[in-house]
């Protein structure tokens, strides 16, 4: 994609201070107990955490597979890996952290001298650390540049999409990935605004989306810009395409009896996981453990708001 306009270099307003100790104290992994239970962990296992994030699931897994077990943690975000390295320091020698995309899981485990694994977990979506860092541009709660890259070295940002794509392309992204019924109104408003000046910040974009909405849609429980921001994030990071590849590769690399646990947070992700598990089951490669997705307990949803939309699906390699 050719960049037509240059992004502004801004200092985000109301910048949140986010350091490693703070992140570890704030981070609560979703459905951690269920993941540990359904992976059927025991000492000596090799487990891959495909979305290591701030290390919550990895810590729980390592407590069960050590001694002699090994965890391979994958994440695109080097900030997350730095936090996880500190969090897991008590297990030094029992884990390997790799900066990569989980669609490359085969190359990752080969690079650390493995050719198969006993279990794998995916915790999809954006992390609280990323949402809490305005300079990453994932959230409209504080002003920051329109970034949204999970891999900070990625070439395409949300700024590029919003300022360069056609009105139809923007509308299609917002409708397809955000399931936003007002996608065409929002796309038209974005194109009209960028004809005057580049759309460079998260709150600038959020304001455009709000103004494009019918009045009765502006004051609902869910922020009017939520679906648009989610859609752009998915498009920037090619999340659905990458998920499909990652699931197939992970299942292929599982040992017989090994399990795959996938936590998703919106219907598009969950549909991909469900359909892939069904296809693999029809081919006689896996047995579906969760006929319906598991959801968090009432207590977890009350204590951890992020968990409220979570769904966990589990399958076992035959």
Domain spans, the chain: 20-128+239-317, 138-236
Write down the pLDDT at residue 3. 30
pLDDT grade, residue 276 (50/70/90)? Answer: very high
pLDDT at res. 295: 94
The CATH class that applies to domain 20-128+239-317 reads: alpha beta
Q: Residues 45, 19: contact at Cβ < 8 Å? A: no
pLDDT, one tens digit per residue, over 154-199 is: 889 999 999 999 999 999 999 999 999 999 999 999 999 999 999 9
What average pLDDT score do residues 134-146 get?
Answer: 84
The pLDDT tens digits for 243-262 are 999 999 999 999 999 999 99
What is the pLDDT, as a whole number, of residue 155?
86
Which letter does DSSP use for residue 90 in this model?
G
Burial class (CB in 10 A: 0-12, 13-18, 19+), 21: exposed
Q: In whole angstroms, how far apart are CA 239 and each of 9, 115, 150, 163, 317? A: 27, 25, 10, 21, 24
Topology classification of domain 138-236? DNA polymerase; domain 1 (1.10.150)
List C-alpha distances in Å: 259 to 53, 62, 226, 237, 278.
20, 16, 33, 26, 15
Residue closest to 122 by CA, chosen among 292, 254, 308:
254
Q: What is the pTM of this model?
A: 0.86
């Amino acid at each position: 994609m050719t960049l037509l306009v240059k992004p502004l270099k801004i200092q985000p307003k109301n910048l949140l201070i986010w350091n490693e100790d703070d992140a570890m104290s704030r981070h609560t992994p979703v459905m951690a107990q269920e993941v540990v239970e359904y992976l059927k962990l025991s000492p000596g296992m090799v487990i891959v955490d495909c979305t290591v994030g701030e290390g919550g699931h990895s810590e729980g897994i390592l407590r069960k597979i050590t001694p002699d077990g090994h965890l391979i943690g994958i994440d695109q975000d080097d900030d997350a890996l730095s936090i996880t390295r500190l969090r897991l320091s008590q297990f030094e020698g029992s884990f390997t952290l790799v900066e990569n995309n989980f669609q490359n899981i085969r190359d990752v485990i080969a690079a650390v001298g493995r050719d198969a694994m006993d279990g794998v977990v995916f915790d999809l979506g954006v992390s609280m650390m990323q949402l809490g860092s305005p300079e990453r541009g994932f959230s409209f709660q504080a002003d920051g540049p329109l970034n949204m890259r999970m891999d900070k070295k990625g070439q395409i940002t949300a700024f590029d999409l919003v300022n360069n794509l056609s009105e139809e392309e923007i509308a299609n992204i917002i409708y397809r990935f955000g399931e936003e019924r007002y996608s065409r109104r929002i796309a038209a408003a974005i194109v009209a605004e960028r004809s005057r000046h580049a759309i460079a910040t998260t709150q600038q974009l959020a304001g455009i989306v709000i103004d494009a909405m019918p009045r009765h849609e502006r004051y609902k429980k869910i922020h009017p810009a939520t679906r648009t921001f989610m859609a752009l994030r998915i498009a920037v990071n090619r999340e659905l395409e990458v998920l499909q590849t990652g699931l197939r590769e992970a299942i292929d690399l599982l040992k017989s009896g090994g399990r795959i646990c996938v936590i998703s947070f919106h219907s598009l992700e969950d549909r991909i996981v469900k359909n892939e598990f069904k296809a693999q089951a029809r081919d006689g490669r896996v047995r579906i453990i969760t006929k319906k997705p598991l959801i968090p307990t009432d207590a977890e949803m009350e204590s951890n708001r992020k968990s409220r939309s979570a769904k966990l699906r589990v399958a076992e390699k035959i």
